[in-house]
A and B are shown apart, each in its own frame.
Chain A
Amino acid sequence: MSTPGYLDSASSEPLHPAARETLLAALEHGYADPRRLHGAARNARLMLDNAREVVATCLGVRPDEVTFTPSGTHAVHLGVLGLLAGRTRVSPVLAHSAVEHSSVVHAGDWHGARGGAVVELPVDLEGRCTTELPDGPLGVIAVQAANHEVGTIQPVAEIASASDAPVFMDACAAAGRVELPTGWAAAAVSAHKWGGPAGVGALLVRKGARWRHPFPGDDRIDERSLGFENVPGALAAAAALQAMTAEREELAARQHATVARIRRRVAEEVPDVEVVGSADHRLPHLVTFSCLYVDGEALVTELDRRGFGVASGSACTASTLQPSHVLAAMGVLTHGNVRVSLTRDTTEEQVDAFLDVLPGVVASIRADAGL
């Protein structure tokens, strides 16, 4: 259970009750090195294999296609760079949508600094990536399942069928929330986005995909992983995903309707506001809007004072002091930006309380600016 006004599940979903129980039990028994040949090790190995099997079933892949990683970001780096390493004879070009998570952008920068090339695929005003690909051979195409800031679902399958190049899909924002698309060669997911513990991600590599380790590698059970496995974390992540998958249909329908209500009320009750992203073809649990003439940092701070925790893509709230590259690529207002995202136990009353204070908070910040 999270703090009542916590509306930032897209940054991190609170630990699912199913994951809490599993994590505590697994911490007790899952300490040993799963590669060793003794009883405690066999226990750990059994737990790891169990976790892998559950994650595979929930995400619609085979167990040997799942590699646990220390984070979603690490899985993204392994996925993007590993597919590129398998394509060196074809093309050094990484094409990625202009609204990818920074982990994909950083992998691209790293690739570029080592002689590779990177091209950006433009998006429309709703943040949807083009399906028209640049001419010439491409090494890898990276496109997210759904956008982490505005929720727009991306045309992954269409892009995959438009090119011979393997597709890397960042599914960190979407996994556990919606059914994943098909057509990709490798993908990354992150457990703390679906109510698992932090410090657990997974790299998915489809059978037959040409993937080569882009880093020094290791001698673990799974050739794609690095370092000692976080067995309790992986098992708790699997338990959370299994629980989220079981309740997904009901939860998604409920959250989708609540977000539709937020979109409507914000547009009606806050003057000069732009609610962004796709209204329908989107993740169920999040919504982003920008308020004209409002300082994003002031908005987040004032909402926090009233007990509401929200994220912002405005430059003044970022460590880099750059506006969100997602909002910039879409061409929507970057200042006065707020992202609201629901946890599985966010209530209608909490959402109403937020919507009731928002117009007054925006009006008072505008008044302070002399408007």
Chain B
Amino acid sequence: MSDSAEPTTWALEIDCRGMRCPAPIIELAKRHTEVSVGQLVAVVATDVAARVDVPAWCRMRGQEYVGESVADDGTPAFVVRRVS
């Protein structure tokens, strides 16, 4: 899914539109535990740094980066699976 813009369903959408780095990653860190292990979280962000920093956060925190999708309005959504 990494390179497709196919809409995916996720358990939680974190609205980070208009936020600048590192705010989207801070929101992700604070809120990803709201979903159960195995469920998906989407970080919806306009900040270009999120494209790099969401996967990097997953690597550093042992979470799974699923790929990039889009929210209903076409804003990039960076999808993470909670694995722990």
* CB of B20 closer than 8 Å to a CB of A: yes
* CB of A331 closer than 8 Å to a CB of B: yes
CB distance from A273 to the nearest CB of B (A): 9
Q: What residue of chain B has the Cβ atom nearest to residue A371's Cβ? A: B26
Is the CB–CB distance between B21 and A292 below 8 Å?
no
Is the CB–CB distance between B52 and A327 below 8 Å?
yes
* CB of B49 closer than 8 Å to a CB of A: yes
Residues of chain B lying within 8 A (CB to CB) of residue A295: 21-22
Residues of chain B lying within 8 A (CB to CB) of residue A371: 26, 29-30
Q: CA separation between A329 and B21, bound complex, in Å?
A: 17
Residues of chain B lying within 8 A (CB to CB) of residue A294: 22
Task: Give me the interface of A with B, judged by CB distance under 8 Å.
Answer: 272, 274, 290, 292-296, 314-316, 322-323, 327-328, 331-336, 369-371
CB distance from B53 to the nearest CB of A (A): 6
> Size of chain B's interface in residues, with CB distance under 8 A?
18
Of B2-10, B33-41, B55-63, B69-77, the one contacting chain A is B55-63
Q: CA separation between A272 and B53, bound complex, in Å?
A: 13
Is the CB–CB distance between A316 and B20 below 8 Å?
yes
Closest 4 CB pairs of A and B: A335-B22, A335-B21, A333-B56, A323-B49
* CB of B43 closer than 8 Å to a CB of A: no
Task: Give me the interface of B with A, judged by CB distance under 8 Å.
Answer: 20-22, 25-26, 29-30, 47-49, 51-53, 55-57, 59-60
Q: What residue of chain B has the Cβ atom nearest to residue A369's Cβ? A: B26
Q: CA separation between A335 and B10, bound complex, in Å?
A: 26
Q: CA separation between A315 and B50, bound complex, in Å?
A: 11
Is the CB–CB distance between A314 and B21 below 8 Å?
yes
Is the CB–CB distance between B20 and A333 below 8 Å?
no
CB distance from A103 to the nearest CB of B (A): 22
Q: CA separation between A120 and B46, bound complex, in Å?
A: 25
Q: CA separation between A296 and B25, bound complex, in Å?
A: 13
Known: A293-B26, A371-B29. A333 touches B60 (CB 8 A): yes
Residues of chain B lying within 8 A (CB to CB) of residue A327: 52
Is the CB–CB distance between B22 and A336 below 8 Å?
yes
Known: A315-B20, A315-B21, A316-B20. A292 touches B57 (CB 8 A): yes
Is the CB–CB distance between B26 and A334 below 8 Å?
no
Q: What residue of chain B has the Cβ atom nearest to residue A291's Cβ? A: B22
CB distance from A48 to the nearest CB of B (A): 45
CB distance from B22 to the nearest CB of A (A): 4
Is the CB–CB distance between B60 and A272 below 8 Å?
yes
CB distance from A351 to the nearest CB of B (A): 25
